[in-house]
Structure 1
Amino acid sequence: MSQEHLEAALPVGADPRRYARVLARVHEAALSGSAMPAAPRPVIGASWQRMRRLGLDPDRGGQVDPLGPAELEQRRRRSGLTEAWGILRVNLTSVAEEAAHIVVLVDADGRVLWRDGSTAVRRRADGLGFTEGVSWHEDAVGTNAIGTALVARRPVQVYSAEHYVRSHHGWTCAAAPVHDPRDGRLLGVVDLSGPAATVHASTLALVDAVTRLAEAQLRQAHLIDLERLRAIAVPALARVTGSAVITDPHGWVAAATGLAPADRIALPADCGPGPAWLPGYGGCVLEPVPGGWLIRQAEGADPDGAPTRVVLDLRSPRNCSFTVTGAGGTWTRTLTPRHAEMLYVLARDRGGRSAAELALDLFGDPARTVTVRAEMSRLRRHFGGLLEPRPYRFAENIDVRLLYPADPAEVLPHSTAPAIRSPRE
């Protein structure tokens, strides 16, 4: 994780108490509309703006009913985070207890699934309503590390009066998002929270490192599942005539015959049995097999297909999607935040962008071309003949449409890319 994404709330060498007093004055000035004695950090300022647009009460927050025990247990089972919680408890609970913190794991909606750590701090959290089953999203409790990390899609530390709701000013928290290694989907957020006096600049790096460890455990579990599928796939493909491939439900390839090898195939979001158009493969027929899909390439299929229109849908900040329509039908896929950013930039500039220009658009640094080329290579593997290189652009025969949220400030709100942040602000 690059240093730009690990900005601690407390500046190096700053006195926590004195800095908390400065933050309190900044917070009150921001709420009253008067001149602020200092500017909040960009991630905090952007969150405060969202809270003001939402009309959130800075004294009471929002009202979201907690989950009942049965619904909480159901959420835990569906979350995909059970294995991650085991890793987090082993690696963070003892640290949390010694540092007077609690470790918290929430799902992608901000619902608290599990808590552990200091008994005294858990009792204090109970008084704040910070318990299992509650929502800790920004919409419910304002700016906080958990809710803001869910929106910003990056590690966030929040200290004292950086919290939007005044009753949270006695706390410090550091949180990092957890992603599903199979499809990049946001699963939830790992958080360490404690009294404001326990703030430490290294807490954010610790949370981020343990979160990456949890993701590695999820990745290992996926590789084991893929090996199990491979044991089924190889004999199944031996009985198939023509080109075919067997994938898991997320498109990861277990085995193939008659097709160029690939790690993963981009499957449609509403994947089901029957004919489908797949980027790079053209017309195909999908058949369910235990643990995944058997995909047969239709006879005479054109891998570059004939898509005529693509729609980049940015209306949902959490689930941006990309829909392709052509002679073979319609195909939709949910995008990762980075791919949504890149496709948005290319949709806005049909003339195309060089690797250096895209690096400047995304990172503010034209030298980061290696990262851009790697991501564009992944995009072009997913979306076949829709994207052209040198410069990177949508193919000329494609009708590209953008669907925007009603509020322009909600266009990719997680993004810190200069090409998106500047016009949004």
Structure 2
Amino acid sequence: MSDKRIDSAIRSDRDFRATARRLATVHEAALSGVASGGAPLAAPRAVIGESWRRVLVSGVDPDRDRPQSPLPVAELEHRRQASPLSAVLPVLHEGLLPAADAAQQIMVVTDAEGRVLWREGSAPVRRMADRLGFDKGADWTEGVVGTNAIGTALVARRPVLVHSAEHFVRSHQQWTCAAAPLHDPRDGRLLGTVDISGPAPSFHPTTLSLVSAVARLAEGELRSRHQLSLDRLRSSAAPVLARVGGRALAVDPSGWVVGVTGLTPPDRVALPKAPQAGPLWLPRYGRCALEPLPGGWLIRVGDREPGLAPSRAVLDVGGPDGPAVTVSGPAGSWTHALTPRHAELLFVLAAHPRGRSAAELARDLFGDASRAVTVRAELSRLRRHLGSVLAHRPYRFADGVEVELRLPAARAQLLPHSLAPAVAAARLG
């Protein structure tokens, strides 16, 4: 059943009951198909079917809740204070709490690991949630509680509605939830989710749209705060750059450029995860020196030195923070978070050490060799970050770079968002 059909089907109590029965039939058919080794007669929506396959691999029992291990109070408070989402709680409250209270629902905010950091809204619904262990500090990932809007949105990296019997675990099937992921505008890092949950009959079909819109407002607020910090750094860095002889850049801690001298200004520079003052090697500029600025760094660019080129690349496509590549060499190491498309490209290149042509990569990613132009454009963007780590003719990791590929523990969890034929084939082993 499509998202639109679900939205239109829950507009009345009678429709809700009919939809719930229909979804329960799909749920039972899917589990029966798995048990018998055959295909179910009725198929769930694609996002739900993919989630059910993942939670089956994780060993989630549809008839039994896994016991929760909520965070200790001190750890919960630490995560709250460290989370950038604390700055946008007023936006989330203003956008969602009135609607949640009116509809007898609750608003939940999690971190990127699926841990519930904040939970507010209807008191009766909070008490209902308590009986499921859906409380502050709880782990609401798919591997613990099965298919649900929070855990599934964290994997799918997009807004998700999970209605009634689309929940994998039967004790959750009296609920409906809608969640949207929240990202850090500085580096695209997943910060967590915002979710509206409540009894299935009380849910309104526009809730997913509302949650998605408020999530975008919250990300806009984070973007505005980041821009203000860049403006402050730009003001303090300008007189420093004016006195620098040679080539230099001023960047914030995430590598966003606020000023340059002697160079064409890029938007961003890939910095090490924990940069320290002193010499370092950067993929675009080679040998550099890093000096602290109030709120950022001054990068003095020197001559390229072949002896400082990177010698090792670790491509992690199974880590909890999303796909990333870590490059290291004599001058240190740095990590670059990857977009879904760039993660697919590097995975294929790591799996084919001798390299791939643009046409071959187009077949690997799209199943269509004619999309080679798209592949070349993506690789051009990727090489802006990785520089001499990648080579071309054919496209590959550069000679002399040792490549380590880190996969998830279960191959079925490999880049779960990806529809690329090469990734789908790798999931099957």
Other structure's SS at 1:81 match? helix
Distance 1:304 1:281 in 2: 14
Match of 1:311 in 2: 314
1: CA distance, partners of 2:304 / 2:394 = 28
Note the C-alpha offset of 1:248: 0.9
Report the CA distance shift for 1:365/1:191 in structure 2 as closer, same or farther (over 3 A): farther
SS in 1 for 2:135: coil
| Contact in 2 for aligned 1:230/1:255 (Cα 8 Å) | yes
Q: Work out whether residues 59 and 167 of structure 1, in 8 Å CA contact, stay in contact via their aligned partners in 2.
A: yes
1:414 and 2:427 equivalent?
no
> 1:76-127 CA distances to partner (integer Å, 9 max, x unpaired)?
1111101222111111112222333222111111111222333433332233
Matches within 5 A, 1:1-400: 7=3, 10=6, 12=8, 15-32=15-32, 33-34=35-36, 36-298=40-302, 300-302=303-305, 306-326=309-329, 328-349=331-352, 351-354=355-358, 362=365, 375-387=378-390, 394-395=397-398, 398-400=401-403
Report Cα offsets for 1:146-187 as digits up to 9, x if no partner: 011112222211111111221100011111110000011110
CA–CA separation in structure 2 for the residues paired with 1:98 and 1:120? 12
Report the TM-score when normalising by structure 2. 0.86
Unaligned runs of 5+ in 1: 1-5
Q: Which residue of 2 aligns with 1:3?
A: none
Task: Confirm or deny: 8 A CA contact 2:278 2:289 kept in the other structure.
Answer: yes
SS at match of 2:217: helix
Residues 188-227 of structure 1 deviation map (CA, whole Å, 9 limit, x = unaligned) = 0011112112344432222222211111110010000111
Deviations 1:391-425 (A, max 9, x none): 76545665544232342212212334444234424
Say whether the 8 Å CA contact 1:304–1:385 is kept in structure 2.
no
1:404 and 2:407 are equivalent in the alignment: yes
Q: CA deviation at 1:351?
A: 4.0
- The residue identity in structure 2 corresponding to 1:236 is V
Greater helix percent: which structure? 2
Query: What's the CA shift string for 1:26-84, capped at 9, x where partnerless?
Result: 33344451453312223222322332232223233222322344432221111110122
TM-score with structure 1 setting the length: 0.86
Structure 1 residue 381, shift from structure 2 partner: 1.6
Shift in alpha-carbon separation, 1:374–1:100, aligned structure 2, 3 A: farther
RMSD of aligned residue pairs (Cα, Å):
3.1
Moved more, 167-176 or 28-37: 28-37
1:318-357 Cα shifts (integer Å, max 9, x gaps): 3333132445454333334343223223434554354x87
For residue 84 of structure 2, give the secondary structure of its aligned residue in structure 1. Answer: coil
Q: What is the rounded CA distance, in whole Å, between the counterparts of 1:276 and 1:201 in structure 2?
A: 53
CA contact (8 A) 2:281 2:309 kept: no
Structure 1 residues 290 and 126 mapped into 2: Cα distance closer, same or farther (>3 Å)?
same
Task: Tell which deviates more after alignment, 46-55 or 244-253.
Answer: 46-55
**d(CA) in 1 for partners of 2:131, 2:229:** 42
Structure 1 residue 132 displacement after superposition:
2.1
Distance 1:69 1:17, change over 3 A: same
Contact 1:16–1:199 (CA<8 Å) still a contact in 2?
no
Matches of 1:421 and 1:55 in 2, distance apart? Answer: 21
| Contact 1:8–1:157 (8 Å) recurs in 2 | no
Of stretches 278-287 and 235-244 in structure 1, the one that deviates more from structure 2 is 235-244
Q: 8 Å contact 2:9–2:16 — kept in the other structure?
A: no
- Report if the CA contact (8 A) 2:96-2:107 is conserved: yes
CA distance 1:135–1:13, shift in 2 (3 Å): closer
Matched AA of 2:18: R
How has the CA–CA distance of structure 1 residues 380 and 412 changed in structure 2, closer, same or farther, with 3 Å as cutoff?
same
How far did 1:247 drift? 1.0
Shift of 1:275: 1.8
Residues 305 and 202 (structure 1 numbering): CA distance in 2 closer, same or farther, change over 3 Å? farther
Deviation at 1:302, TM superposition (A): 4.9
